[in-house]
Amino acid sequence: MTALGPVRAGITVDAPPERAFEAFTAELGRWWPLAYTYAQAELDTAVIEPQAGGLWFERDRAGRETAWGEVRAYEPPSRLVLSFAVSPERAPEPEARASEVEIRFVPEGRGTRVELEHRDFERHGDGAGRLRDGMASPGGWPLILADFARHLRG
């Protein structure tokens, strides 16, 4: 398969890096868009376990947990790397087929520039281009980051 270029997205938030990192990770279940979950309206929460080797996952109201991938790097308050084990068909995918998302929290004035790079889409196999195009679209990472910024604004 031909290598697919990464998707890059970013947003500036009015919070220091420590607060932005904490909100992104510890408060994921309060701001992550329901449309980007398996449980949808039955979502209870979404979690990023705070260590490399942990998982990021969702839990539905019945207590069922579905992994979205692994935490590959957890470096507060500056960097987070997650595997993205969600298939182009929006189903759980084996870790061996996961792409990777790196989020950096860069001080910018009194706020933080949140810079995201989603890469290695070709690992998803068939449909990888469709997944990449969806995450690059206005309804992909730009929408997710906008929801994050709204959460921080309260």
pLDDT at 14 > cutoff 80: yes
pLDDT, average across residues 33-46: 96
Global pTM reads 0.96
pLDDT, average across residues 38-53: 97
Residues contacting 76, CB < 8 A, separation 6+: 18, 21, 22, 25
- pLDDT category, 58, cuts 50, 70, 90? very high
- The separation between CA 127 and the C-alpha centre of its own chain, rounded to angstroms, equals 19
- pLDDT category, 107, cuts 50, 70, 90? very high
- The separation between CA 125 and the C-alpha centre of its own chain, rounded to angstroms, equals 20
Q: Quick one: three-class SS letters along 13-78? A: ECCCHHHHHHHHHHCHHHHCCHHHCCCHHHEEEEEECCCCCCEEEEEECCCCEEEEEEEEEEECCC
pLDDT, average across residues 46-65: 98
- pLDDT per position as a tens digit, 89-98: 999 999 999 9
Exposure letters 117-127 (e unless 16+ CB within 10 A, then b): bbbbbebbeee
- pLDDT category, 1, cuts 50, 70, 90? low
CATH topology for 7-32+71-153? Alpha-D-Glucose-1,6-Bisphosphate; Chain A, domain 4 (3.30.530)
Report, in angstroms and rounded to the nearest whole number, the Rg of the chain calculated over CA atoms.
15
- Find out whether 70 and 82 touch, Cβ atoms under 8 Å: yes
Encoded tokens for 85: 């084990």
**Omega of the bond leading into 76 within 30 degrees of 0 (cis):** no
pLDDT at 133 > cutoff 90: yes
